[in-house]
Amino acid sequence: MNPLAPQSDPDAPAPGRSFPLGATPLPGGVQFSIYARGASCLELVLFDSPDDPKPASTFRLDPRHNRTHDYWHCFVPGLEAGQLYGYRAHGPFEPARGLRFDPEKVLLDPYARAVEASRYERAAAARPGDNADRCLRGVVVDPTLYDWEGDTPLERPFAHTVIYELHVGGFTRHPTSGVPEERGGTFAGLVEKIPYLVELGVTAVELLPVFQFDEQAGPAGLSNYWGYDSLCFFAPHTRYSSRRDPLGPVEEFRDMVKALHRAGIEVILDVVYNHTAEGGEGGPTLAYRGLANQAYYILEEDPARYANYSGVGNTLNANFSIVRHMILDSLRYWVEWMHVDGFRFDLASVLARDPEGRPLAEPPVVWSIDSDPVLAGAKLIAEAWDAAGLYHVGSFPGERWKEWNGRFRDDVRRFWKGNAGSTPGMATRYLGSPDVYETSEREPERSINFATCHDGFTLNDLVSYDRKHNEANGEENRDGTDANYSWNWGVEGPSDDPELERLRERQIKNFLATTLLALGAPMLLMGDEARRTQGGNNNAYCQDNETSWLDWSLVERHRDLRRFVSALIRVRLGLGSEERGYLSLREILAATRIEWHGVRLGEPDWGPDSHALAFTATSIDRARRFHLILSSDWQPLRFELPRDPCGPTSRWRVAVDTAADSPHDCEDPPGSGPVLDGWSVEVAPRSFVLLASST
């Protein structure tokens, strides 16, 4: 029997197959398949155009011919890529049993490769009644119809990676970006700024969520700007495309990836597989809860309620078979068909919970991702905690995963603020957090080092505000963390005092130098190199406005700071000095002997009142040495230096000094700084000094 053969009813679609899931163009038409456990009947609805208020066609699927186990499927002849579609699922609405079928709602296919959302209204999916006029609509995509021109993921080692976390919308939406308004805040707009990223020297961009998300899921009157409310795990976000045709986002995303790869820059996606935009009990019925609520979500003991380990109303049942398959299929799709280089998993510890929410020592979905052959070359980064207290930093399951190191962020902030007892923490964080990863045999880059990220203060605000200022979020400043370890240096917010501004700039340089030159893989936040400010807002998730956008006038105003960052990256990667046999700082720190010091050689001070430390790192062949000094003291300190760095004729040369004016704050090319005459050096208050051996 031909499974695609039509039935005797001329209006019925052909049976189709249960695989592959989603909408798949085939010769002569499109094959549809969707998982709907417990549904009594499914209807496939087709729209002729985005402006249609109601479906142009409806196909009622016959469970005798169009269902295999929990999969509903059909083949519709005459359709092709670009077709708009959705589903209605019939079945019991019994929340007390965990069942939430509502045939009045048009549902989005979880496997849709593109989404048409121009008429979408979240409220229409939450209130009683038919929402066909205001529903999300899947778009049929043929992923084979694109010329990659030989492009492949770059697979750069983490040891050679410098990550730049950015928001696609906020990167070029500001009027000062120089990007035409129609391309501002889009994938195409990002392409126009690739020369800037190349000049800065970063090797990877980590994009805040670009899966289709619900911008209407923000607080009243505000948008969901960051994008951590996914609607679909296979489709690029429509608003990030400058094209208005339904297939435009897919094509424009691929154009962006290809252009970034040509520039030597990898693409890492921030992915959200821990919850969806459907929210809690009162949320809208958009897809998952209307298809198989008990399968897709972790429910409480009372199945009418959703477990909330994500902090936003629901939790995906990641270790249930169908959800695990969906996550793997999504990741494979973005690698195979969209050519991305890696993923950062939001609240990744949720993936380590079983269907009852209990922590698992060996979570199947985590190990499936870790060992999947399609993903073998992809970067895997975990935000190794969740919103309900599960914390895996240093112990996230799997063999290939790297982790956002929140302890690096906090201990580095404490040290540069001058907190008592912070010197030992700075020392361990700088050398790859051996106390956190002491049982690991992996490379030091298991630790993703960052001082700032999208969630919290920008670097400028970290040194300009004592407290958060989130009033614009509409929650009376209750949202956002209070544990910022920030300091305004006497003035809350902007200041015209040149001395204060010099001190703040030095502190910013200290954070940048520490992050970029420590063991581990460094990550920078968009605009920190230009002192981007959010006005003290440390939770700007709902601020799709100039609060969050990158003001490109700052890039020129703070061009010396931008040059400093670029030079630091060159020091880290060891670029531009091959003729001198130069080794990067990372290479020496990762395979060398470390000698600890204080202001006096061999006498480190680990006490609670210490605010300074120094160490010497020597390469295995003793051909290169570095001497690093970090002082958060409020007065100048004179540090003794080791004699004969690499032989009787060698001297110490200044590579980095955050107290020096540009361009002498970081010498470029590396190894070209001034030579010190003696065997001690005075270090200015609150500064970072790196010395390199010179003959």
Residue type, 27: P
**What is the amino acid identity at position 394?**
G
Burial classification of residue 337, based on how many CB atoms lie within 10 Å of its CB (0-12 exposed, 13-18 middle, 19 or more buried): middle
Q: Which one-letter DSSP state was computed for residue 338?
A: T
- The alpha carbons of the chain give a radius of gyration, in whole angstroms, of 27
Catalytic-labelled residue, pool 270, 278, 346, 657: 346
DSSP 48-103: SSTT-SS-SEEEEEPTTTSEETTEEEEEEET--TT-EEEEEEES-EEGGGTEE--T
Catalytic residue among 383, 403, 505, 528: 383
The residue to which tokens 């897709």 are assigned: 296
Helix (H, G, I), strand (E, B) or coil at 406: helix
The reply to whether 383 belongs to the active site is: yes
Q: Is 652 helix (H, G, I), strand (E, B) or coil?
A: strand
354 given a catalytic annotation: no
Helix (H, G, I), strand (E, B) or coil at 224: coil
- Locate 278 and state its tokens: 């459907």
Give 497-549 as a 3 state SS string: CHHHHHHHHHHHHHHHHHHHHCECEEEEECCHHHCCCCCCCCCCCCCCCCCCC
Nearest alpha-carbon partner for 172 in 141, 156, 149, 195: 195
Q: 10 Å Cβ neighbour count for 660? A: 19
Residues constituting the chain: 695
Q: Which tokens is 582 given? A: 């130069």
| Contact yes or no for 312/279 (Cβ under 8 A) | yes
Name every residue whose Cβ is closer than 8 Å to that of residue 433 and which is 6 or more positions away in sequence. Answer: 394, 405, 407, 408, 447, 520
Residues with catalytic function: 346, 383
